[in-house]
Amino acid sequence: MMSAHAAATTTVTDLGLVTTTTTKGTNTTDGSFADLFNFTVGPNAGSILVSTASTFSSYGVSLSSLALYLGTYTTTASLSGLTPIVFSASPVNMDLGNGIVVDTVANKSFALSPAATYTLAVNGTSIGDSRYTSIVQLAPVPEPETYAMLLAGLGVMGFVAKRKKASKKLEENASA
């Protein structure tokens, strides 16, 4: 039987500078939890965040929500009244067979500002000592030079196609 707690326990984790994918396993105790993960987006790391918090139901954790806030916060009270950048309260249960069910909140994607700090808040309940995993993944964003090379390549392709068409027209006129 799950014991009732007056307030959720909170663990604050500093993930530091995130440039690609960061995975963090978190232990929980009996009752509700509201864990905070603070991180900074790398300057050229990307600007799309895909974040997931997942657990195996056999571990006794039920996830209820995931929210992302701009700024660094160390208490859930400091989040009171703030509007998250994104909020997901729709756990998805996937049955993997053999009695294993994965409880996942999220897969939300949205733009982040490079070099900015963010707080990811994960909420849920736990039956006894349990564990869940949070994944923060940044997808790379092409640099301006990449777009310049793409446009130059398209321009060269257009020039070659035009010359080929003109050359073919000259051959047709010469043979006529």
**Model confidence at 148, in pLDDT bands (50, 70, 90)?**
confident
Q: Which of 7-11, 22-26, 108-112, 132-136 has the lowest mean pLDDT?
A: 108-112
Rounded CA separation 44/47 (Å): 8
The CATH class, in words, for 12-139 is mainly beta
* Model pLDDT for residues 4-46, shown as the tens digit of each residue: 444 677 888 888 787 777 778 787 878 888 889 998 887 765 5
Alpha carbon of 27 to those of 12, 13, 65, 98, 134: distances in Å?
A: 12, 12, 17, 24, 11
Measured between alpha carbons, how far is 42 from 170 in angstroms, rounded to an integer?
55
Residue 53 has a CB neighbour count (10 Å cut-off) of 29
Which pLDDT belongs to residue 78? 93
State residue 159's pLDDT score.
80
Q: How far is Cα 41 from Cα 43, in angstroms, rounded to an integer?
A: 6
What is the token pair recorded at 15? Answer: 């993930």
Would you call 147 exposed, middle or buried from its count of C-beta atoms within 10 A (0-12, 13-18, 19+)? exposed
> What does residue 169 show for φ and ψ, rounded to 5 degrees?
-65, -40
Q: What is the pLDDT of residue 31?
A: 85
- Confidence band for 169, pLDDT divided at 50, 70 and 90: confident
Residue 174 pLDDT exceeds 80: no
Residue (of 121, 125, 25, 27) closest to 76 by Cα position: 121
> What phi, psi does 159 have (nearest 5°)?
-65, -45
**pLDDT of 64-84, one tens digit each?**
888 889 999 999 999 999 999
- Domain borders along the chain are 12-139, 142-176
Looking at the whole model, is its pTM more than 0.95? no
